[in-house]
Amino acid sequence: MTTQNEPLANIQARIEELHHTITEREEQIKMRAQKLAADLKDEISPENMIRQHPKKAAGAAFLAGLLLTRALICHRSPSIVIEHTQHSAPSQHLSTQGKTALSTIGFEILRSVKDIGFTFLQRYLEKKVR
């Protein structure tokens, strides 16, 4: 009878060994995935991208600000606002005021982003000079 139980014991030992190996591999894969996620997050973070390519980041911010300014100025043409207020009903006048308020908010956001960008660029250049 002991000869019949020996293959069964070997199979059970092999199953336990495989479970242990699978558990180890699973932990290794989880650790690698967490490390990869952290590395990817660091690599793609905006701060690192700006630090690695400051000139491109400043140029892109300037270009985006220029395009946003042109888009907002086109929508805020004074002749269009005067024309709408003269020929339109009061409800349309309110929508024009809303557009004007939105463009004002857009300009303020643009100005804030510009100030932040210049401050960052100034600090970056000061660190490079020192």
The answer to whether 40 and 88 are in contact (CB under 8 A) is: no
For residue 99, the Cα-to-chain-centroid distance in whole angstroms is 28
Q: What is the pTM of this model?
A: 0.37
What digits encode the pLDDT tens for the residues 86-112?
A: 554 444 554 666 667 777 787 788 888
Q: Token digits for 119? A: 């401050």
**C-alpha distances in angstroms, 68 versus 59, 79, 107, 112, 114?**
14, 20, 9, 13, 12
Residue 1 pLDDT: 43
Q: List helix spans (H) across the chain.
A: 2-44, 46-52, 54-75, 78-87, 90-129
CA angle 79, 61, 126 (to 5 degrees): 130
CA angle 47, 52, 53 (to 5 degrees): 100
What ranges do the domains of the chain cover? 1-44, 50-129
Q: Token digits for 124? A: 């970056």
What digits encode the pLDDT tens for the residues 5-57?
A: 677 788 999 999 999 999 999 999 999 999 998 888 887 888 888 888 888 88
